[in-house]
Amino acid sequence: DFNQVDFMLALGGDGTFLSLARIIEDKNIPILGVHLGDLGFLAKVTLKDLFHRLDQVIVGDYLIEDRALIKAKIIKGNKSIEHVSLNDFVFANGESFRMLNTSVNVDGHFVGHYKADGLIISTPTGSTAYSLSAGGPIVTPKVDSIIITPTSAHTLTSRPLVVPGSSKITVSFAGQADSIRFVADGQVHEILNPNTNVEIVKS
């Protein structure tokens, strides 16, 4: 019963932390990440410091950092599917090794047509994850924003873009012949057809 929970321990790496954040979603329960995995950007407590840190929590010696989630609404004909992410949503070619064709609108305004290996829509938390590897900016979590980063774009003018957190981003795939792979936080996968539209907002 989430209503009875004061806080949660995520024992593992950042993948464990991301899974737990999506499960909790809007329950407003703090997570303390204990680093047992390969990467530990989110899970900041080490195993040797665990009991010292828990003692600090008991006496109220801690800070709570607010982190934004983003929500994707995948519209397939008359059906829609929703996913949330703490880090990012990634679009890539489903089965071929060709470039992905995506068109991006922000608040109804056309931003650009990207020919690239893929497209990443990330939160400030996710700005230090895959988006960073693709040349995206590092954005502090206190900046209310969403980051749009193409991966290996086939043009000199495709650059990462930071938009306000209140934005509604629409991704479509005009000119795309193959299926599209959609991934939430590197963990949840969907295969989309080229007629699909995806709307992304802060959750």
Residues labelled catalytic: 14
DSSP state of 137: P
Give the C-alpha separation, 25 to 198, whole Å.
20
Instruction: Kindly state the tokens that stand for 149.
Output: 């980063």
Q: Which of 57, 64, 60, 150 is nearest to 112 (CA)?
A: 150
In whole angstroms, give the CA distance from residue 184 to residue 84: 7
Locate tokens 């008991």: which residue?
Answer: 58
Beta bridge partners of 151: 118
Separation CA 179–CA 129 (nearest Å): 25
Residues 6+ apart with CB under 8 A from 45: 32, 33, 34, 35, 53
